[in-house]
Structure 1
Amino acid sequence: MSASTSASTSTPAASSSASPSAGASPVTADDLVLHHYAGSPFAEKARLMLGFKGLAWHSVTVPMVMPKPDVAALTGGYRRTPFLQIGADIYCDTALIARVLEGRRPTPSLFPAAVAGQARLIAQWAGTDLFWTALPHAMQPAGAAAMFAGAPQEVLQAFVADRKAMTEGMPQPRGGDATAALTQYLEWLSAMLADGRPWLLGAEASIADLSVYHPLWFVAKAGPMAAILTPHEALRAWMARVAAIGHGERAGKLDSAAAIALAKASTPKPALVEEGLGFAHGDPVTVAPSDYARDAVAGALVGLSADTVTLARDDERAGRVHVHFPRIRYVLRKAG
């Protein structure tokens, strides 16, 4: 089931295209291509945003762990999952993907006017404090064993090693401390629903609901660690409503080579560097997350505002691409 939709406000279709895998519809430079994998919490948030908007999209499955050479060809080294591709434009971070989808189809809105500020603040908290409490709670030994049940031991070991490298030096609660904090957070969230409202901020669903849901979705998959949700009946009913939004229309699967070919056959959208922000068009710069997975992406600055930063990169396989980042929780530096 998906949320109600309205007429699309997408840009005119481009002429370039790439061949999808068997059984999928052709993909053009104006189509939405989500690079993700099934078990990624932030990818679940992105899939729900697509469902909320009632949008069709093509799916590319990316590896859970490094190395990710096909991801690097498109992003320049950004390793987080998911990212959104539209032709030769690559949008990193679900906060930015939400804005892109909002522009693509404004109704229903992820940011209802009456609660837009609250929704953004809760979404920011959910993607940071809540996520980095839910994850270590869920990934305690019993939860990890449930999530990786049936998989070879080396798969779990590789996942743990990869995530340890991603979060090196990042403070986060562990074990019992994570469980204690998550217990309080669940009580706070349950209190928001105590008056019988269907969504966290009232009568309308918003980005707050999708952002809070995805860490709890991960907890719910963690076998015995999911018991922490049991006392919260209203919260579990709310989770069922969010899940019922669905993932929109999967137009088909692409392999990563086809996605790279699509980028090379496409032309990035124009971008603008606004004045007075300390940088000029064409500056060699790097952009890196400020919290975890701090791999820097290098390129020429072609877009900058208070909200976003855009780098132009040339890749032997993907051609000229524009890689877009939000400004919040990302560090922009002049190269060298």
Structure 2
Amino acid sequence: MQLARFPRRRYTLSQTPIERMEHLSGHLGGAQLYVKRDDLLGLTSGGNKTRKLEFLVAEALKQRADTLITVGAVQSNHCRLTAAAAVREGLKCRLVLEQRVPGSYRADASGNNFLFDLLGVEKITVVNAGDDLNAAMEAERQALAAEGRTGYIIPGGGSNAIGSLGYAACAEEILQQGFDMGLEFDRVVVASGSGGTHAGLLVGFNANSAGLPITGINVRRPAAEQEANIHALTAQIADYAGVAAVPREAVVCRDEWVGPGYSLPTDEMVEAVRMFASLEGILLDPVYTGKAAAGLIGLIRAGEIGRDERVLFVHTGGSPALYAYQPILSGAAAAQ
């Protein structure tokens, strides 16, 4: 892929590390587990959206925007990082927050909500699940235009063809690191939400003929719906980047660990978050990586991931949201 032809800002100065998780591997008694530490990407508290924003913000600057507009859930990592990118570039930021769980937004909440305020978000508009999010963002863009300003709309999760280039590039980074480490992975496991990370990796690996399967662990939608969404997005990315299309059979999503719904806690998520922290010193978030790690653990325990497999877990960040879930994740709560 010739990704250098696309405008890009750089918010991370080097590759994120790939680390062996020896204690977790030993504890689970199966598979050699590694983690791609994209929680260590640049911008405030890191996370996968940083890679997407490198391409999206470059496009916004190309269009001479002065304000970034985006949407996310009430504890959105994407919204936090979009606000941080705006600060880095001297831009303003407006957020549309979707209450996917009724009554879940609190202006005084901890976690990412607190960081929205600390990062100086200009305006927050709260809408309910099922509302037209694109219309809400467009209303903000038009309000800015009426003031003589230029807003640039970034879709939820930064998951369009432009933003997803960040993870097509990450796929190449992983392959290069594996080569340098003398390490060939058998499988990649990653959270599958808005889809740009999952789809971007699929396009990147496919364009490099890597033959490396990816298992997406759903955090919101049923498997069939999510697989259709991911495959459609891979087609958009591949067309935009000018590379081969991803075959439908390469798109694998698992929905057994979603639980009662998006952002709603499960016992498996709590176990995974505490296990990664106590065995590897790695913080996961309760919405995305916690449920993805629960899926990884579940697949190992079920024997679907073999004992000799070398598995790379892509850590997409999100640890600030932990602090909004402290009553659920604390040792006392977990013991009940």
Query: TM-score of the superposition, structure 2-length normalised?
Result: 0.27
Q: Which has the higher helix share?
A: 2
- TM-score, with structure 1 as normaliser: 0.27
